[in-house]
């Protein structure tokens, strides 16, 4: 399949006892898909997967898989090892694995390519590379991204370069055929779409989902006037939501809206401050919840 449009990397809501609130998770999944999201991401970094037990992780995937099956939507699962992608064989609803460029080790570009060759060979579903160099410490040239795109089974990239850098410009000047580029720096997604990106994996799209979907459609239709207007509006929201570590502000906003029972996060995250939450609430596009 071709990965286009808006994919929402779902938070993991917690109830007053600290347990995962699966009912709220299901409600969020249904809300964003009804708002125009093309699919969901479960166990992405926004969902705090490292803080979830294996039982909790399975429950999250069970819920999101059921909703995506009912809605005919794509489901992408965070999977960052050969063992994790192999486990997706038992998940027929899964459309792709989202796999992080190896962090901290900085294996070099040849090492990254070899790593994704191994992941793709083991995976029963297409692999989407998650490239976020300001977190992993590993930069990738446009030439290396093209090498990744040539690996059988690698379908695209979640690109979070911290802005529109030279490597991104070079890549988007001649993007690999059949390789989806999905923006993941929420505040920069509009200019990346203007360069030809296929969509985005956007935590901010928990809110104003229909506007983010409209943003993608407008750029794809070549309606730059409309796209710029929507993009400018959504940039302020994205900046406000990322004023503190993700997803702390987002959870605060969702709780304030009554969409999740608490704003709780798990360590090492701490809840966002009230000022950040109020600022994000004030930045939502007019006429939307």
pLDDT of residue 289: 44
Q: List CB contacts of 241: < 8 A, sequence separation 6 or more.
A: 186, 203, 204, 207, 249, 250, 253, 280
| Helix residue spans in 48-173 (DSSP H) | 54-71, 82-86, 108-122, 133-136, 142-149, 166-173
Per-residue confidence of the chain (289 residues) as pLDDT tens digits?
Answer: 779 999 999 999 999 999 999 999 999 999 999 999 999 999 999 999 999 999 999 999 999 999 999 999 999 999 999 999 999 999 999 999 999 999 999 999 999 999 999 999 999 999 999 999 999 999 999 999 999 999 999 999 999 999 999 999 999 999 999 999 999 999 999 999 999 999 999 999 999 999 999 999 999 999 999 999 999 999 999 999 999 999 999 999 999 999 999 999 999 999 999 999 999 999 988 654 4
Cβ(15)–Cβ(23) below 8 Å? no
Report the CATH superfamily, name and number, of domain 5-222: Aldolase class I (3.20.20.70)
- Annotated catalytic residue within 7, 115, 158, 251: 158
Nearest Cα to 59, choosing from 20, 111, 17?
20
Which uninterrupted H or E stretch holds 77? strand 74-78
Exposure pattern of 129-159 as b/e (b: 16+ CB <10 Å)?
Answer: bbbbbeebebbbebebbebbbebebbbbbbb
Q: pTM score, two decimals?
A: 0.96
**How far is the C-alpha of 203 from the C-alpha of 201, rounded, in Å?**
7
pLDDT of residue 2: 79
- Annotated catalytic residue within 7, 115, 130, 251: 130
Structural domain boundaries of the chain?
5-222
pLDDT of residue 8: 98
Q: If you ran DSSP here, which 8-state letter would residue 163 be given? A: S
Does residue 251 have an active-site annotation? no
Does residue 7 have an active-site annotation? no
pLDDT of residue 288: 44
User: Residue 43: phi, psi to the nearest 5?
Assistant: 65, 25
């Amino acid at each position: 399949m071709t990965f286009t449009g808006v994919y929402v990397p779902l938070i993991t809501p917690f109830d007053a006892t600290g347990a995962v609130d699966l009912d709220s998770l299901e409600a969020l999944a249904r809300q964003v898909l009804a708002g125009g999201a093309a699919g969901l991401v479960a166990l992405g970094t926004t969902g705090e997967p490292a803080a979830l037990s294996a039982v909790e992780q399975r429950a999250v995937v069970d819920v999101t898989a059921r909703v995506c099956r009912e809605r005919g939507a794509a489901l992408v699962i965070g999977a960052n090892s050969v063992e994790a992608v192999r486990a997706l064989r038992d998940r027929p609803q899964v459309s792709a694995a989202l796999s992080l460029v190896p962090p901290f080790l900085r294996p070099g570009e040849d090492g990254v390519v070899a790593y994704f060759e191994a992941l793709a060979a083991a995976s029963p579903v297409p692999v989407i590379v998650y490239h976020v160099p300001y977190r992993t410490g590993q930069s990738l040239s446009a030439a290396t991204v093209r090498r990744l795109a040539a690996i059988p089974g690698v379908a695209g990239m979640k690109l979070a370069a911290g802005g529109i850098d030279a490597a991104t410009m070079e890549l988007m000047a001649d993007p690999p055929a059949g390789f989806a580029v999905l923006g993941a720096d929420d505040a920069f997604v509009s200019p990346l779409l203007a360069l030809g990106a296929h969509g985005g994996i956007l935590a901010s799209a928990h809110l104003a989902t229909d506007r983010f979907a409209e943003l993608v459609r407008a750029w794809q239709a070549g309606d730059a006037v409309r796209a710029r207007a929507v993009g400018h509006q959504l940039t302020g929201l994205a900046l406000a939501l990322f004023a503190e570590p993700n997803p702390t502000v987002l959870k605060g906003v969702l709780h304030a809206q009554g969409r999740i029972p608490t704003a709780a996060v798990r360590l090492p995250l701490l809840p966002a401050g009230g000022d950040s939450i109020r600022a994000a609430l004030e930045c939502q596009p007019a006429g939307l919840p």
